[in-house]
Chain A
Amino acid sequence: MKFAVIVFPGSNCDIDCYKAVEETIGQSVDYVWHTATDLSAYDAILVPGGFSYGDYLRCGAIARFAPVMAEVVKAAEAGKYVLGICNGFQILTEAGLLPGALLRNRDLKFLCHQSPLEVVNAATPFTNQYREGEVISIPIAHGEGNYYCDDETLARLQKNNQIVFRYASGGNPNGSVHDIAGICSERGNVVGMMPHPERAVSQLLGSEDGKRMFTSILNAWREQHDAAVNS
C-alpha cells in the first residue's frame, strides 16, 4: 500500500505523519510537494497539520488552491483514502471535501494537550480497529479547531453517521458544535479531524491510541484489495 504525505509551505506535522506510517504499519510512504500534479500512484493521502501559507486570510484558505489539491479532490472522488489532520482538516473543509468550517477556539487560546475522544463511527476505513463508543486519548494542538456547521448540516451528519470522533463527555475544549472532533464524507473515504493520531503512536509519546487509525487504513485497503483480487 502506498501513502502520500502532502507538504505545503508551513506544514509542520508532515514528518510525524510519515514516521507514523513507517512505525505503525511499515508501508511505503512519500512526501509529496504542494506543486505535484499527479497522485495516481497513491492509495492513501495524508494532509498533515501545521500552518500552511502562514494561515493567512483563513486557515487552509490558500492551501486549498495549491496545484496538488485538484489531485486530492480527484483521489477523493475515486474513493481513495484521504485523511486531513488539524490544518489538513481545515484545508479539506475549505476545499469543500468535508462540510462545515473551523473557527477560532471559544476561549481564543491555542490548546495543546491530550484529549479524550469518543469513537462515534467505528465503521470507516480509518476507524475499523476501534470499538464504537470507545474512549481513546489523542492530543490536540490548535488555535482554530472550533467546528461549526449549521443545524441542517449537523442533522445530515448525524443521519448519515458522518460524525467519527467527539470530544468525550464534558471535555469539549474549543466550543465545537455537538462536541465534534472529526467527521467523514458521505462515502466515508475522506476523514478530517482536529486531534493528532500521528502523535499518539507510542507510549513514549504519552499514548498509542492513534496507532489503530493507521492499522485501520491498511486493513480497509487489504479487504478492498483482496476482494478485487478474488472477484
Chain B
Amino acid sequence: MKATVYVTIKQNVLDPQGTAVQGALHSMGFAEVDKVRIGKYLELTLDTTDRAEAEERVRAMCEKLLANTVVEDYRFELEG
C-alpha cells in the first residue's frame, strides 16, 4: 500500500519561504499570485494490505514525527 502525506504550515503561522517565493514570482511578472505557502510531500510504501490499520498507523507517524502539530497541519491519502 502507498501513503502520500502532505505537511503544510498552519494558516496562522508565517511562512517566510512562501513569502520569498511570492516576491520572486511578482518580480517575474506573475502579479496575480496572492499568496504562496510551501509544504512537504512524502511518499511512504507500506508493507500492509489492511487499510484501517494503515490509516491508524500513518496518523500516528504524522502525529509523532512527520508533522510538528504546533506549527504544521497534515493530511494523507492511501492507495493500493
Pick from A61, A104, A108, A175: contact of B68, CB under 8 Å: A61
Q: Using a CB-CB cutoff of 8 Å, which residues 45-92 of chain A contact chain B?
A: 57-58, 61-62, 65
Q: How many A-B residue pairs have CB under 8 A?
A: 36
Nearest CB on A from B60, distance (A): 13
**B1 is an interface residue with CB less than 8 A from chain A:** no
Q: Using a CB-CB cutoff of 8 Å, which residues 59-80 of chain B contact chain A?
A: 65-66, 68, 70-71
Pick from A65, A105, A150: contact of B65, CB under 8 Å: A65
Residue in B14, B66, B70 with the greatest tally of chain A CB atoms within 10 Å: B70
A61 touches B65 (CB 8 A): yes
B65 touches A148 (CB 8 A): no
What are the residues of chain B within 8 A of A107 when measuring CB–CB?
16
A108 touches B70 (CB 8 A): no
* Distance, CA A101 to CA B16, complexed state (A): 15
The interface residues of chain B, by DSSP majority, are classed as loop
* Distance, CA A148 to CA B9, complexed state (A): 12
A108 touches B17 (CB 8 A): yes
* Distance, CA A62 to CA B61, complexed state (A): 12
**Closest partner residue, chain B, to A60 (CB atom):** B68
Q: Using a CB-CB cutoff of 8 Å, which residues 91-140 of chain A contact chain B?
A: 93-94, 99-101, 103-108
B65 touches A104 (CB 8 A): no
**Closest partner residue, chain B, to A94 (CB atom):** B68
A104 touches B70 (CB 8 A): no
What are the residues of chain B within 8 A of A106 when measuring CB–CB?
14, 16
* Distance, CA A21 to CA B5, complexed state (A): 43
* Distance, CA A107 to CA B14, complexed state (A): 12
Nearest CB on A from B2, distance (A): 19
Which residues does B use to contact A, with CB under 8 Å?
12-14, 16-17, 20, 65-66, 68, 70-71
Show 15 residue pairs from A and B whose CB-CB distance is below 8 angstroms, ordered by the A residue. A58-B68, A61-B68, A93-B70, A101-B71, A103-B14, A103-B71, A105-B16, A106-B16, A107-B16, A108-B16, A108-B20, A146-B16, A148-B13, A148-B14, A148-B70
Which residues does A use to contact B, with CB under 8 Å?
57-58, 61-62, 65, 93-94, 99-101, 103-108, 146, 148-150, 175
Please give me the 7 A-B residue pairs with the lowest Cβ-Cβ distance, nearest first: A101-B70, A101-B71, A104-B16, A106-B16, A108-B16, A101-B68, A108-B20
